[in-house]
Copies of this chain bind each other. A is one copy, B any other.
Amino acid sequence: MRDGVVYARGSTDNKGQILAHILGVGESLRDNGELPVNLIFLIEGEEEVGSKHLGDFLAAHRDALRCDLIAISDTGMIAPQTPTFTYGLRGIAAMEVRVHGPSIDLHSGIYGGMVANPATAIARLVATLHDAHGRVAVPGFYDEVAAIQAWEREAWARLPFGDKEVLTVTGATRTFGEEGYTSLERAWARPTAEVNGIGGGFQGTGSKTVIPREAFVKLTFRLVPNQRPADILAKVRAHLVANCPPAVRLQIEDGHGGDPYLTDPHSAFGKAAQRALAASFPGRELALIREGGSIPIVNTFRKILGVETLLLGLALPDCRAHAPDENFPVENFEAGIRLNKTLLEELAGD
């Protein structure tokens, strides 16, 4: 062990976890007089917009950042009091699609029936993205998808987080998605196509009888090994062009992308992290999971610095990430301090 880069991110949804990193390191320093491993803090603030400049920064400071390992706290625990080691993440590919029709909003009485309605057209286009069961209907979308391993299906089925917990956390009345998979399997190891925003025409209270001049949809695709963002965006683009309703103009803009990530939970570093987790939550069974979110920079680290990343997050399923009333419990904050202190010792002894 030469040094470990503790990568503390400046995101909206892990400020508490970043502070736990720092305080855990502080406690280690206080108790031992020195740190058991070398550390570098690397802090950025572009996570939610695709970390555009981090790759250039890593390349420019490759020597200064030489390390054995990255540690990031940006993931979650599968349930309260359940130490969780995350060994996989989904990737992402974003796209914004606009449908243009008349040059101005038109009176829908006078012109309704004469020309195409962009809001109708965008809806018809979105409706081609899935089959009735939520499976993505874009040709070739699943071509590169790696199958879920048998041991993963078994391990995930034992976790204290099933459909009942999904409904409690989300407030949905039913789970929904691709047939043949559990909710966890669909969110962790199967790709999706989600509408993050759709809009066009009158948005206010009541009625305004217009044919809108344009309508848009903001899409993101969550990717799993071995899908690649550029390939998926190209396939989706071809599908949208092929399925665009007549008499409107289609405009497609590719957004940010990030590869999916999978690391070996049974590596030496992985085992050290699991020991630290176990020590931070005495007597609790450890969960080995993937996560549905995307942390594209773990692939950037692997590519530029040549190292793996430990994902040791402590957010709970009801943390409301990206939503109103986002939260991080004090007891997890305290566990995070213990975890980060212990992790340094376990890594040093490895």
A interface with B by C-beta (< 8 Å): 13, 48-49, 76, 90, 92, 94, 96, 101-117, 119-120, 122-127, 129-130, 132, 134, 166, 169-178, 183-184, 186-187, 190, 192, 194-203, 206-213, 215, 217-218, 220, 222, 245-247, 249, 255-256, 291-294, 320-325
Contacts and interface: CB of A to CB of B under 8 A. Distances in A.
B323 A104 contact: yes
Contact of A113 (B110, B190, B203, B324): B190
B110 A291 contact: yes
A104 B101 CA distance: 33
B292 A109 contact: yes
A134 B245 CA distance: 10
Interface centre among A116, A194, A218, by most chain B C-beta atoms within 10 angstroms, is: A194
Contacts of A114: 166, 170, 172, 175-177, 183-184, 186-187
A187 B113 contact: yes
A206 to B, nearest CB: 7
Nearest to A291: B110
B117 A90 contact: no
A78 to B, nearest CB: 11
B106 A195 contact: no
Given A109-B292, A119-B196, 16 more contacts: A94-B209, A103-B171, A109-B222, A112-B222, A113-B186, A113-B292, A115-B166, A116-B176, A119-B197, A120-B130, A123-B124, A123-B217, A196-B207, A196-B210, A208-B322, A209-B220
Contacts of A199: 198-200, 203
B322 A210 contact: yes
A58 B213 CA distance: 38
A193 to B, nearest CB: 8
A104 B324 contact: yes
